[in-house]
Amino acid sequence: MLYNKRIVDFSILEIFMSIFFNDNEENNQAVHENENNSVQEPVAGPTVEQVVAEWKQKYAYLNADFENFKRRTVKEYEAMRLDIYTRICKPLLVIMDDFDRACAAADKQHSDIEGFKLIRKSFEKCLTEIGVVEMPVEGAFDPQKHEALLQVQSAEHASGDIVSVLQKGYMLHGAVLRPAKVSVAQ
């Protein structure tokens, strides 16, 4: 009975539409097609595959950002560590130079000189453990590693070669901590 009522209601709807909207076959078919299509067409939206692909892409970007963050953090940590070592070790090099001058100026017969040498050796060992090493000074002048204080005439050395070292230079993990102060041949 209910089913028949729907058919009757539908027929009444058709009659109503034909009265108010010019009884046109094309209009009626278009109305029926729209009703059928609206029931059968799925709602337009992203498919499961599209959603999965979008989340995979977001995950890949997030993972790449995190890897970049880790690399950047390691570099910043190493730079900060090197800066701290530099700030600590630079003033200590002055003390090392003082020990060298004291050993050179002291009388060789003094027993205190051996104490100075032992202290200097122990001090040098501590700096070496941190990564501070004495810079080798040989050959040609390198403005990245040396500071020229004097230019001297020398028949033994070519122009631009280091003649003598006035103050030792030191490196910290391969970077110049303090340049060597040298005299250079003209």
User: What does the CA dihedral 144, 146, 150, 154 come to, rounded to 10 degrees?
Assistant: -100
More confident residue, 92 or 107: 92
- Based on its alpha-carbon atoms, the radius of gyration of the chain, rounded to whole angstroms, reads 44
Q: Determine the structural domain holding residue 82 and report its residue range.
A: 68-185
Measuring CA to CA, which residue among 68, 63, 173 is closest to residue 128? 173
Please check whether residue 48 lies inside any domain of the structure.
Answer: no
Q: What is the pLDDT of residue 78?
A: 93
User: In this predicted structure, what is the pLDDT of residue 20?
Assistant: 57
Q: Is the pLDDT of residue 35 over 60?
A: no
At 122 the pLDDT is 92
Does residue 46 fall inside a structural domain?
no
Does the structure show a pLDDT above 80 at 18? Answer: no
Q: 129 pLDDT exceeds 50?
A: yes
* CB burial string 27-51: b at 16+ within 10 A, e below: eeeeeeeeeeeeeeeeeeeeeeeee
The total of structural domains in the chain comes to: 1
Q: Which residues pair with 183 in a beta bridge?
A: 150, 164
Kindly tell me if the per-residue pLDDT of 8 is higher than 50: no
Asked whether residue 89 is domain-assigned, the answer is yes
pLDDT tens string 152-169: 988 888 888 899 999 999
pTM metric for this prediction: 0.59
Residue 111's pLDDT band, with cuts at 50, 70 and 90, is confident
What span, in angstroms and rounded, lies between the C-alpha atoms of 70 and 98?
43
Nearest Cα to Cα of residue 119 among 98, 90, 138, 146:
98
In a domain? residue 50:
no
